[in-house]
Chain A
Amino acid sequence: MFDSKVIRRRRAALAIFVVLSIGMLTVYFGESDGGAFHSVQRGAQAVFAPLETGASRALKPARDLFGWFGDTFDAKGENEDLRAEVEQLRRQLGVAETARHDVRELRALVGLTESQGYPEGTDPVGARVIVRSPTVWYSTLKIDKGSDDGVRRNQPVVAAGGLVGKITDVTGGTAEVTLITDSSSAVSAQVMPNGASGIVHPVVGDPNDLLLDYITKGRRVTEGTTVVTSGFESDGLESIFPRGIAIGRVTKVDPRETEQFQRVHVKPLADIRGIDYVQVLTERGVSTQAGVPLQ
């Protein structure tokens, strides 16, 4: 059907593209964050950011339409769940207010200073999501605020009151957020109110399920309790997440008979798939206040 020249040319073209791809993969993994490919990537993201912002705004109605189908089916069950949650939260609020009052008095009694953690020590900068990871792995987002707005690497990112991820790359006007559902993510966390500590890992491919590992079997963890960042500080090592950012709620506890630790399933508070707006928790006093903080 084809002469040998055509076949050779076709195979040569395929070989060139495959070799180029593998070469890029190899160099990208081998180089540091300041390497050539990473710099080109940052440059391209800065150049295309206005186009992506415009497209993101223009496509919002289409996104909402897609989401409407699923939301309509889920709405009734979700409404009942939310009513039950409001009742439970009202009960907890009374207990928490009393505890807060007692803590304040006890701190004053022993002369303990109040730590500047979350939310007191942070200055939230509101940002719009302009690019989403296009695969089933839900690993990254890009937002329309960057170093010009006071956003820096490793700052925590929250949405709907829950932890979403951290800033991993910044340009002048944009920043990359690596989500807590990314395979590389690990967050030190505590179950409240009993204080059992562990590490939250993702279950790749299921953005509604996180795993809280390294909880010893003796610690009792119940369904429905809240998991927050533990924000440890020890021997010069410090967690990038301040203490007290809510991550999610415990949905299931798996005791795992043959293991030393129990495995706790946690549903994130933030809707990782449907995020449109986030808040970057910049350090108080560092932000240029260019971004309008969300309430």
Chain B
Amino acid sequence: MRATPGAFARCGAIALVAVILQVSGLGSGRVFGAYVDLVPLAVAAVAIYAGAIPGAAMGFTTGLLLDLLVGGTMGASSLVLTAVGYGAGRYREVRDPAHGLMPIPVGAVATFTWVLAYAVVSFMLDVGATVSWLVVREIVATTILGAILALPVFAICRRVLRPVLLVDPLDLRRRRKAPLESGPIGLRGLGA
């Protein structure tokens, strides 16, 4: 991704919209015991399309915004989301995923990592009460819901980021699938 003011503005807009939607209503909307969590999906989407450094920066910024607006312990969300963004960005840089369904596993892993790591950080910081086993069920259900929502969230983020991307992983896939010129017996260069 080109480090231009436009790129920063687009990433900032994604972070702001994701956090506002999350804390203002979607966070309490429940489907079969799970709640919708857009924040790790937005961070993972930016990381997958832009790389590890923008991913880590997006994670840090989104976490900071989340802690500011919710009134939570400042730094806790930033720490976890920085790791999520960096991890997703490194996955893209190392494996160069180009499959159309790539957002599903990436979204699931990002959501699972975020919910689990935030729980661990909360434990270490200030949870002194009894903890219910329902937390485990909720983490699994939220991860499944994250996987389901990953495709539309990644598609929207890709559309927003596309003008500032140096390389779009899904464009690479399309180029690879372009039909090859071939001769009459299926070998290139033997045409008439």
Contacts and interface: CB of A to CB of B under 8 A. Distances in A.
Interface of A: 1-2, 9-10, 13-14, 17-18, 20-26, 28-29, 37, 40-41, 44-45, 48, 51-52, 55-56, 59-60, 62-63, 65-67, 69-70, 130-137, 139-140, 142, 169, 176, 183-185, 201-206, 209, 211, 273-274
B78 A44 contact: no
Contacts of B52: 10, 13-14
B150 interface: no
A160 B84 CA distance: 39
Interface in B107-152: 115, 118-119, 122, 125-135, 138-139, 142
Nearest to B33: A70
B56 A13 contact: yes
B69 interface: yes
B74 A41 contact: yes
13 contacts: A1-B94, A14-B86, A25-B74, A45-B71, A52-B20, A52-B69, A130-B24, A131-B23, A132-B28, A133-B27, A184-B126, A205-B138, A273-B30
Main secondary structure of the interface of B (DSSP, over half): helix
A204 B135 contact: yes
Given A14-B56, A25-B74, A134 B134 contact: no
Contact of A203 (B24, B64, B131): B131
Contacts of B86: 14, 17
B53 interface: yes
Contact of A59 (B25, B122, B131): B25
A13 to B, nearest CB: 5
B170 interface: no
B167 interface: no
Nearest to A274: B28
Given A203-B130, A204-B129, A25 B79 contact: yes
Contacts of A14: 52, 56, 82, 86
Contact of A21 (B72, B75, B129): B75
A131 B79 contact: no
B27 A134 contact: yes
A239 B78 CA distance: 36
A205 B83 CA distance: 24
A130 B73 CA distance: 19
- Which of A55, A131, A134, A204 has the most chain B CB within a 10 Å cutoff? A134
Interface in B80-94: 82-83, 86, 93-94
A100 to B, nearest CB: 36
What 7 A-B pairs come out closest when comparing CB atoms?
A59-B25, A24-B75, A66-B29, A205-B135, A25-B75, A206-B132, A55-B24
Contacts of A20: 60, 75, 78
B31 interface: yes
B32 A41 contact: no
- Which of B28, B31, B72 has the most chain A CB within a 10 Å cutoff? B28
Contacts of B83: 18
B27 A132 contact: yes
A190 B82 CA distance: 45
Contacts of A66: 29-31, 36
Interface string B36-78: 1101000000000000110011011001101111111111101
- Which of B23, B31, B35 has the most chain A CB within a 10 Å cutoff? B23
